Structure 1
Amino acid sequence: MTPFDLQRMLLDDFPLLFIGEVALRALFAFVAVFLFLKISGRRGIRQLSLFELVVILTLGSAAGDVSFYDDVPLLPIITVFITLLFLYRLTLWIMAHNKRFSCWMEGKPVTIIKDGLYELHSLEQMNISSDEFFMELRQQGVEHLGQIRMGILETDGDVSLFFNDAESVVPGLSVLPPEHRPIYLRAPASGLYACTRCGYPQIIEEHQDSTCPRCKNSEWSVALRTQRLH
């Protein structure tokens, strides 16, 4: 093998006309994936469920193989697409008629914030880092948890928020970036602090360390009281 051989790197032993076949195969794959999504009834792919993501990845693998490999015939790939479409529609039909199966496939919405506090039983179910979750909240105009009456993690990964009105806002844990949300083991000054794990607010005296009575966490951040700007 000759290093940096342009012929090998660009086309190898294939004839130049094979480039045209690759273009035709790519067009076939594009049309097949488009028709699959169209026939399956999806109106968009902004958020995919776990099941739909598996289907799309399988489609992508089949489309990629038929696009680039000369020894992959088209008819077996068409069979793959038809089989996936059948399985997709069958699974959706079963999910529509069987709630238990639907919950197993899609999961359930999880309440993660209630009355300005994290729901402790939901913390273990969250497959998202606190930084990512705080970013989601900031993008929806949240400054601290006390502004939120209820927060629900949907099955597609989106977070639905229901806000307190101005009179009902309570002190809460800041969701600002770390440089604006210092964390303390001992309070630098007397005041109201929020548990960094569950959001529980508590008055702590200067230089005092404290353990959260709700989740046994020992790290605290200054609780915020600001109202949400619409």
Structure 2
Amino acid sequence: MSSIIELPRLLMGDTPWSFLLEVAIRMVILYLVLFTGQRLMGKRMAGQLSRTEQAALVSLAATVGLPILSPDRGLVAPLLIAAIIVLMQRLVVHWAARHPQVEHVLQANVITLVADGVLKLDALEHAVLSHERLYAQLRGENLEHLGQVRRLYMEANGTFSLVEVEENPPPGLSLVPGWDEDFRKLQPTAAGRFACCSCGWVAEAPQAPATACPKCGVDNWEPAVEAIKQS
């Protein structure tokens, strides 16, 4: 029981207090290694990371973590590993810049998620992206329905790029959550237009079609809506 409340052992373990100074020195050195490594790997390391950049950054972090607190580990090995990681990252970027097929394998391509107000369901499945996640992204762009979307791309780094319909967007599938009935009632519906609840394709009919959507094969329709006009 007495060993449990030994404060020096609880705080420092089996290392001497003088090791605290060494830890501080190690931390400064390895911090500079991380900082320099990111600078050498390019400005994008400070922004949205690609797959290879994420792998390089995680590898750098793992390399410098253990030597900070382990008195039996020197700094030569992590410094060498960090140099190899930086060199490999620069070589990969240079190689990918010269060979587009290599860049495709490492980074993937830009994916079209929405085209002219219609969801690309196969692209959503490929990107492992749910409808609600996509709708949340579009709502974040102050859009109210899919008809306002000319194109929505998912870039190779996972970010989204939106191209809106600038003037007179056609009616489309509402992006307002179904449980928000009060706000949905404010959206004007387009007479004789019905949107597929699965892909957003809009059909012209006097009433909800009794057939499946020709785009995705789902038989689930709701009135297409227009954007709320600002007074």
**Shorter-chain TM-score above 0.5:** yes
Asked if the contact 2:45–2:53 (Cα under 8 Å) also holds between the matched residues in 1, the reply is no
- Aligned equivalents of 2:12 and 2:172: distance in 1? 62
Does 2:174 correspond to 1:174?
Answer: yes
- Following TM superposition, by how much is the alpha carbon of 1:56 offset from its aligned partner in structure 2, in angstroms? 0.7
* Counterparts in 2 of 1:176 and 1:22: CA distance versus 1, 3 Å: farther
- Following TM superposition, by how much is the alpha carbon of 1:8 offset from its aligned partner in structure 2, in angstroms? 4.2
- Aligned equivalents of 2:119 and 2:11: distance in 1? 56
Which consecutive unaligned segments of at least 5 residues does structure 1 have? 183-189
Let me know the Cα RMSD of the aligned residues: 2.8
- Following TM superposition, by how much is the alpha carbon of 1:212 offset from its aligned partner in structure 2, in angstroms? 2.3
- Following TM superposition, by how much is the alpha carbon of 1:155 offset from its aligned partner in structure 2, in angstroms? 0.7
Corresponding position of 1:213: 214
- Aligned equivalents of 2:147 and 2:177: distance in 1? 17
Q: What TM-score does the superposition give when structure 1 sets the normalisation length?
A: 0.84
The aligned amino acid for 1:198 is C
Q: What TM-score does the superposition give when structure 2 sets the normalisation length?
A: 0.83
Corresponding position of 1:49: 50
Asked if the contact 1:96–1:102 (Cα under 8 Å) also holds between the matched residues in 2, the reply is yes
Corresponding position of 2:62: 61
SS in 2 for 1:223: strand
- Aligned equivalents of 1:216 and 1:3: distance in 2? 67
The aligned amino acid for 1:12 is G
- Aligned equivalents of 1:218 and 1:7: distance in 2? 71
Counting only pairs closer than 5 Å after superposition, residues 74-223 of structure 1 correspond to structure 2 as: 74-167=75-168, 169-180=169-180, 192-202=193-203, 203=205, 205=207, 211-223=212-224
The aligned amino acid for 1:171 is P
Q: Which moved more, 1:196-205 or 1:155-164?
A: 196-205
- Aligned equivalents of 2:206 and 2:9: distance in 1? 70
Which consecutive unaligned segments of at least 5 residues does structure 2 have? 183-190
- Aligned equivalents of 1:59 and 1:228: distance in 2? 52
SS in 1 for 2:112: strand
SS in 2 for 1:131: helix
Aligned identity (percent) is 27
Corresponding position of 1:186: none
- Aligned equivalents of 1:85 and 1:91: distance in 2? 10
- Aligned equivalents of 2:15 and 2:220: distance in 1? 64
